[in-house]
Amino acid sequence: MKFNSNTKIVGTNVLLVPYEKHHVPKYHTWMTNKELQKLTASEPLTLEQEYEMQKSWREDDDKCTFIVLHREKFNETNDEVESMIGDTNIFITDEAEGVGEIEIMIAEDWARRQKLGWQTVVLMLLYGIQHIHLSTFEAKISLSNEISIQMFKKLGFVEKSVSDVFQEVTFEKPVDDDWRAWLLAQCVFEIQAYH
């Protein structure tokens, strides 16, 4: 989404930056991991295909993606690629109704179990509410991904459907003022210009 191409989202422990070409090789390496492929229901792509996908996520009006950086590591190194720990995105499934599907991946083992995924999702939900003007969120999660299932339940999402064919559960959360206020209380949320 060109809309977010100059946007950086600053949280307490993570930074969300637009998915750029220089991020692609490390992202591609992550996505050769069989466990990550299973958890994200992704098919392996060639490096060329990954560059095309990056371009699509940047240019298409119905896709919004950010690379997740470990804030402390970035502050130490000033190196985005070295600080990359995952990605998050929203795919707008119904623009007229304001529905978007949110996804999160913390790819680096060392960055898991530190509530960085939680913070990332909260930031992305707030961005979707305030800047994309979404009124409902969906999350499709592999039935084997118990950690993500529990996280989205704690975020107030409720089960909408289960697909035995795709082995995934779909959760849904309508936006209201109370939930938005609750999200804002979860962490620092600041928008900055990204160069």
pLDDT in tens, the chain (195 residues): 777 889 999 999 999 999 999 999 999 999 888 888 777 777 888 889 989 989 888 888 899 999 999 999 999 999 999 999 999 999 999 999 999 999 999 999 999 999 999 999 999 999 999 999 999 999 999 998 899 999 999 999 999 999 999 889 999 999 999 999 999 999 899 999 997
- Quote the strand ranges of the chain, DSSP E: 7-10, 14-18, 63-70, 84-94, 99-106, 136-142, 158-163, 168-174, 190-193
Domain boundaries, the chain: 2-188
Give the pLDDT of residue 1. 74
- Quote the strand ranges of 27-134, DSSP E: 63-70, 84-94, 99-106
- Which residues have a Cβ under 8 Å from the Cβ of 7 and sit 6 or more positions away? 18, 131, 191, 192, 193, 194
Give the pLDDT of residue 57. 82
pTM score above 0.75: yes
Quickly name the fold that domain 2-188 has.
Answer: Aminopeptidase (3.40.630)
